[in-house]
Amino acid sequence: MQESSTSGPPTFFLPHWARIAFACFMFAVSAVAVLNDFFRFDWVGFLCFGLFYLVYVPRQKGEAPKAYASKPRTIVSVALIIAVVALALHTLHYLFTKYRF
């Protein structure tokens, strides 16, 4: 017998409903941050994090790392996470330079 070359559906660390709910929560926080202070760009990190939860697909069993890394969804997911980390560092810098203890 031959093995099937198709792999099963990807397994996530969160159920489907939780990923959608968390993404919607991040979009709502982003909307509130836009209304609060648009030009501080804190809302971009929340927006990127919400998009990450909608776009991210984990690596499937038996999938080669090179094949996984070359998928467009993986590249976009990595770019979104890099943006979230950069914006979090920007927010920390803003907080530590604005508020002196």
Helices first, then strands: H and E counts in the chain = 4, 0
| pLDDT tens sequence across 20-33 | 999 999 999 999 99
pLDDT given for residue 58 in this prediction: 87
Asked whether the beta carbons of 89 and 44 are under 8 A apart, the reply is no
Angstrom distances, CA of residue 66 to CA of 30, 34, 45: 34, 38, 28
Tally of residues, the chain: 101
Cα–Cα dist 38/70, whole Å:
34
| pLDDT band at 15; cut points 50, 70, 90 | confident
| pLDDT tens sequence across 33-89 | 999 988 888 899 999 999 999 999 888 888 999 999 999 999 999 999 999 999 999
Query: In whole angstroms, how large is the CA radius of gyration of the chain?
Result: 18
* 1: helix, strand or coil: coil
pLDDT given for residue 26 in this prediction: 96
Residue at 55: amino acid letter: V
